[in-house]
Structures are given as C-alpha cells and as structure tokens.
Amino acid sequence: METASASELPDNDLIRLTLPASTPYARIARVGAATLAFRWGFSQRQIQDLRLAVDEAVILLMGHQHRKGTISLEYRIVGDQMRVTGTVALADPTPSGHFFDDEAVQRFRDLAGDLLTEYELDATDHRVQMVINRA
C-alpha cells in the first residue's frame, strides 16, 4: 500500500465502520484506523498511538458487560488531523445512570489520554470523540 501525500487527500474524507459490540470485532476497528492513518501519511509512532486509542475507545463503548448492539466508528481527516468518533447503539436500553464504567474511563485516560491531541467522553450520547494531529 502506498501512502498518499497530504495534497492528494480530500479534506473531510470520511470512512464509516459499524461492527457488532463484541471483542472479536475490536481488531477490525484497530486495523482500520491504522490503515487509514498510514494512507493519510501519519508516522509509525502516531499509527501505534492511534491503534491503542481506538482499542481503548472500543473497550469503553463495549463495557465490561459486553453490551448487545453495534459500535459505529467514523474516521475523518480534516487538514492535519484525524478525527475518530465512536458510538454504540444498544439492542437493549441501559438503566439510567453511569453508561461508562469508571475503571474503563480511567484506563482510557491513562493509556490513551496523552497520546491524543484532544478527546471527549459523552456518557449521555454513548460517544467517544478523539483527535490526533499528523506531525
């Protein structure tokens, strides 16, 4: 696979991926993010950081109870940034209160927080948003 130069890539290029909210499918989200980052000219270090961040986001969205439903990821390139938004659509309604597990949130912050340019965890909308800059 060849890397595209920044001038060859359309701004706001958008890739959508929807997967079952199940552990065996998490690898697809990581590999997809890495492949797109490579295509968009990210360094090997940034690609590894992004893989880890996407993995932790998927874990956060699945939860410890491995919710039944689907996880949707959107990968978008805007200028020198890759923006990733992950959401989960549940087959069964969740009880009101905490959506994200506190331990998983702390794990995400510890492992991925410093690797990202910015991130937002939205328990109300069941969403994780991440941004990483291309060096």
Which domains does the chain carry?
11-133 (3.30.565.10)
Element holding 19 (H helix, E strand):
strand 13-20
pLDDT score, position 104: 86
User: Which residues does 64 contact at the CB level (< 8 Å), separation at least 6?
Assistant: 101, 103, 104
- Cα separation, 70 vs 55, in Å, equals 15
What does pTM read for this prediction?
0.84
Note the pLDDT of residue 1.
Answer: 47
Beta bridge partners of 85: 74, 129
Q: What are phi and psi of 64, to 5 degrees?
A: -65, -30
pLDDT in tens, 48-61: 999 999 999 998 88
Quickly count: other Cβ atoms within 10 Å of residue 46's Cβ.
20
- DSSP secondary structure, 45-111, as one string: HHHHHHHHHHHHHHHHHHTTTT-SEEEEEEEEEETTEEEEEEEEEESSPPPSS--S-HHHHHHHHHH
pLDDT-derived band at 11, boundaries 50, 70, 90? low
- 3-state DSSP assignment of residue 7: helix
Higher-scoring residue by pLDDT: 132, 135: 132
